[in-house]
């Protein structure tokens, strides 16, 4: 996969983190990548042929399961390198981000795993953004704030009675499927359940444990 293709995939994943609804309008994607809409159109069609995105004319583009997997793999590498450059080499955010953008396309998964271990298995980047889990750990149960925005999850348990009662009133209980729309640097989350959206503070979000939703396609 080319660097250009990877950039399209991670841009879609990052837009989801920021709360941009899917499918993402082609004009929004092109603007975020600072490319012409015609160029974005051509690349999106190529990615669709490769089974990485779904494109609906006049509506927009959305990541497919494999596209999201690849986007998260690249974002994971990028944010680990960014954290290394800021915390260990004392680079500023701007310089670290620029270098991490290049390093994200290099190396192997073994190098990425060693880098993560060296950094102490961090969950957030230097800018407070979630570091996607390793693919082998993707099915593990984790709190909402440790998950990747823009994806659907199944609620496996809620470890707080008050939070459990509040979420039940929102139509969200154990076994429910929920979309994690966005995660803030503080750990607050924006959720979508049955097409209704609501926010959950970081303290409450820690009590909501989720796993991967079953076959979503």
Amino acid 32: pLDDT: 94
Amino acid 140: pLDDT: 62
Q: Quick one: how far is CA 68 from the chain centroid? A: 8
Residues in the chain, pLDDT under 50: 136-139, 215-217
Nearest to 178 by CA among 154, 162, 199: 154
Amino acid 111: pLDDT: 87
pLDDT in tens, 185-199: 788 889 998 888 989
Q: Report how far residue 93's alpha carbon sits from residue 194's, in angstroms, rounded to the nearest whole number.
A: 38
**C-alpha dihedral sign at 71, 74, 77, 83:** negative
The structural domains of the chain, ordered by start, are: 3-63 (1.10.10.10), 68-135 (1.10.10.10), 139-212 (2.30.30.90)
pLDDT in tens, 129-163: 888 887 644 446 778 877 888 888 888 888 788 88
Dihedral, 206, 208, 211, 217 alpha carbons, nearest 10: -120
Q: Report how far residue 167's alpha carbon sits from residue 81's, in angstroms, rounded to the nearest whole number.
A: 37
Can you give the pTM of this predicted structure? 0.62
């Amino acid at each position: 996969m080319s660097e250009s293709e990877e950039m399209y995939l991670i841009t879609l994943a990052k837009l989801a983190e920021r709360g941009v609804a899917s499918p993402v309008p082609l004009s929004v994607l092109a603007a975020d990548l600072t490319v012409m809409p015609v160029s974005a159109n051509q690349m999106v069609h190529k990615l669709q042929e490769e089974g990485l995105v779904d494109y609906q004319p006049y509506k927009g583009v959305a990541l497919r399961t494999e596209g999201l997997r690849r986007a998260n793999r690249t974002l994971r590498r990028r944010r680990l390198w960014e954290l290394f450059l800021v915390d260990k080499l004392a680079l500023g955010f701007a310089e670290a981000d620029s270098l991490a953008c290049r390093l994200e396309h290099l190396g192997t998964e073994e190098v990425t795993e060693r880098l993560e271990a060296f950094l102490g298995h961090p969950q957030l980047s230097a800018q407070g953004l979630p570091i996607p889990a390793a693919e082998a750990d993707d099915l593990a149960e984790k709190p909402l704030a440790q998950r990747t925005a823009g994806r659907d999850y199944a609620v496996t348990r809620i470890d707080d009675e008050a939070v459990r009662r509040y979420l039940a009133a929102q139509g969200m209980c154990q076994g429910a499927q929920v979309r994690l729309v966005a995660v803030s640097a503080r750990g607050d989350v924006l959720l979508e359940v049955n097409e209704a959206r609501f926010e959950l503070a970081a303290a409450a979000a820690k009590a909501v444990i989720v796993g991967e939703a079953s076959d979503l396609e």
